[in-house]
Amino acid sequence: MHDDTRSLRKAVAVVLLLGMLGLGAELLFIEHIEGWQQVAPVAALALGIGTLAWDAAAKSGGSRLALRLAMLGLLVSGVAGVYLHYDSNAAFQRELDPSLGTWPLTLKTLRAHSPPSLAPAAMGLLGALGWIVTAGRTPSLETPPR
């Protein structure tokens, strides 16, 4: 691998780590831990941080595969979170005004502050960023020679 590519991959991995730490801290600060649906993204971030550290240290096929799977978990968690936040907001808006049509309901739902409908998309973006970190690195289960 070229030195430029290696340097860029390391820089992206640092940004990924900072993003996961920041988002994880935010979820803990807002006590996003009521029930499994709120604990799942916190656990996904912890798994992502752990596998990123493992891959940085081991650089093995197993660690690369684990990192890819953890990043896929962040992507799935982000998509699921957007759905859950949106659905919760839409139900609340329907309760407040049952006469809302589809478009006005959608706009009110997306503009809601609690829970922010699109905030979980940040987790999905971190998962995509993590996938980029592993791009071009075949997750062979054989440890590469050093």
Which residues does 46 contact at the CB level (< 8 Å), separation at least 6? 24
Q: Output the tens digit of pLDDT for each of the chain's 146 residues.
A: 578 888 888 999 999 999 999 999 999 999 999 999 999 999 999 999 999 999 999 989 999 999 999 999 999 999 999 999 999 999 999 999 999 999 999 999 999 988 999 999 999 999 999 999 888 766 565 555 55
**Residue type (1 letter), 74:** L
* CA dist 98 → 24, 103, 128 (Å): 36, 13, 37
Confidence at residue 48, expressed as pLDDT on a 0 to 100 scale: 98
The full DSSP string for 24-92 is HHHHHHTT--SSHHHHHHHHHHHHHHHHHHHHHHH--HHHHHHHHHHHHHHHHHHHHHHHHHHHHHHHH
Question: Residue 62: how many CB atoms within 10 A of its CB?
Answer: 15
Confidence at residue 135, expressed as pLDDT on a 0 to 100 scale: 83
Please state, in angstroms and rounded to a whole number, the distance separating the CA atoms of residues 124 and 128: 6
Which residues does 58 contact at the CB level (< 8 Å), separation at least 6? 143
Confidence at residue 66, expressed as pLDDT on a 0 to 100 scale: 96
- For the whole model, what pTM was predicted? 0.88
